Copies of this chain bind each other. A is one copy, B any other.
Amino acid sequence: MKNPIVTLLTDFGTKDHYVASMKGVILRINPQCTLIDITHQIKPQDVEEGAFVLASAFSYFPKGTIHLAVVDPEVGGPRDPILIVTDHYFFVGPDNGLFSLVLHKEKVKEAFKLTENRFFLPKVSDTFHGRDLFAPVAGHLALGISPKAFGRRIDSWKTLEFQGPLIEKKSMVGKVVHIDSFGNLITNIEEKNLGHFVRGIPFHILIGKRRIEGIQRGYWEAERGDLLALIGSSGLLEISVNEGNAQKVLKVKRGDPIRIQLK
C-alpha cells in the first residue's frame, strides 16, 4: 500500500501509555504509516459517542484509509473482533455497534471476524486488544495483506439503534446526539428531514426552556451571546450561541429532546 494512513479513535485518553503503545505496534509492523488521531477522548465505554464521532470524520480521509476504532467495554469477553471492508475504507475494531453509523453511509464489500492470531501480538492480554490485536491487524493491513487473510468471513455484525426524530401532527421531536467542545448541541434531525417536514411553513424550535424562531445560515447572523439554530457542518440541526456555549445556556444534556413546532 502506498502512503498508508491509519486513523485511531479510542476512549483511552492521552495521559497514559495506551495510545502510544498502539502506535508503536503499528509502526513496528509498517514504519511507513501515517498515523492520525481522530480522538481519544470518547467518554469511557461510550460506544454510541464513538460511533457518532467516527461517522462524522471518516469520509474526509483518502480512499484506502484504515480506520482503527476501539471503544470496547467488553474487551476480552464474548464480543468478536472484526474487520469491515467498504467501497472506500477499512474498519478495524470490536463488534459492538461502533461502526453502526458509518455503515449508514458506506456500502460493505466484505467483513471478517479476526481469528488469525499470527497477525496479533504473541501474547494477547484480556484487557488491551487495542494494542495486542487491533493495532497489529491495522499494521498488517497497511502492509497490503489481503483482508481475507485475517479471519473468517461474516455477514452480520452488531448495530446500535439510532432512532430518528418522531413526527407528530404539527411537530417533529428529535434529540441531542452530541455536544461538542464549543457547547454546540448537535441533534438527530437531518437537513432534508427538516425540509420535508416544514415544507415552507413557519416554525419555532423548543429546547430546554427556550424557544428559537427559525433557522439561521451561520453563527454571525445572531447577535453575540444569542441562541440560534442552524444546519451544522455535518448536515444536522444544531443549536448554538454566537460566541458562546449553548450547553451552558440551556443546561441540556445528550439525549434531551428538541421539538420543531409548526405555527
Contacts and interface: CB of A to CB of B under 8 A. Distances in A.
A53 to B, nearest CB: 5
Interface string A146-182: 0000000000000000000000000000000010111
- Copy number of this protein in the oligomer? 3
Contacts of A73: 219, 243
B16 A53 contact: yes
B36 A127 contact: no
Given A16-B39, A31-B34, A36-B35, A21 B76 contact: no
A20 B37 contact: yes
B14 A36 contact: no
Interface string A39-76: 11110110000000110111111100100000001111
Contacts of A77: 218-221
A193 B62 CA distance: 48
Interface of A: 3, 5, 7, 12-18, 20-25, 27-28, 31-32, 34-42, 44-45, 53-54, 56-62, 65, 73-78, 125-128, 131-132, 178, 180-182, 217-221, 230, 232-233, 238, 243, 245
